[in-house]
Amino acid sequence: MEDRSTDNIRINNNKSNALTDFLGCSYRATVRLIKGLPSRFVNFVKRKIKEYRNRPKRTDISRVYVVVGYTTKKRVDEKFNAERRMMIIRRGLLILIFLLILFIAVDRVMGLVNYGEMAQIFGIDSFDEVVENDPFEDRTTASSAIVYTEPSETI
C-alpha cells in the first residue's frame, strides 16, 4: 500500500513534466520563428521587387492584361470592355442608391417639421412679413414710399 504523499508527488511530477514539455516546445517554436524572420523578410522583399519589375507598364488607371497562352487580343479587349461596363453600372447604381437614401431622409425630416409650430416659435405668420423689411431691397425703385419728416428745432 502506497502513501498518500507519494501519490501527490507523482501527480505533481506529472503536472510539472507537462508544464516543462509545453514551455520547452513553445521555446523551440519561438526560436525557430525568430531565426526564420530575417530570411522570410528578405525573400518577401525580393519577391515584391521582382513582381514590380515584371509588371507591364501602365499609362492609365485601367487594368493591363498580359496575353498568355491561347488567347487573342480580341478576347482580351472583350473582357476589358465587359469589366468597364460593369464598373459604370456599379457606379450608377451606387449613385442611384445614394440619391434614394437622401430623398427618403429628406422626406422623413420634412414630415417631422410642424410648420405651424415653427411659425409660432419665430413669430412669423406669413412669408410676406419676413420680406416686408428686407434690408437688401433696392430703395431707389418707384414703388418704395418716401417718408418726409419735419426737422426738429434745436436750440
Average pLDDT on 129-151 reads: 64
Residues 81 and 50 in one domain: no
pLDDT tens figures, 93-108: 999 999 999 999 998 8
Domain that holds residue 125: 70-135
Quote the pLDDT of residue 87: 95
Does the residue 1 lie in any domain?
yes
Burial classification of residue 65, based on how many CB atoms lie within 10 Å of its CB (0-12 exposed, 13-18 middle, 19 or more buried): middle
Q: Is the pTM of this model over 0.85?
A: no
How many separate domains does the chain show? 2
Residues 36 and 10 in one domain: yes
153 band by pLDDT with thresholds 50, 70 and 90: low
Does the residue 44 lie in any domain?
yes
Residues 87 and 31 in one domain: no
Does the residue 22 lie in any domain?
yes
Residues 74 and 44 in one domain: no
Quote the pLDDT of residue 145: 58
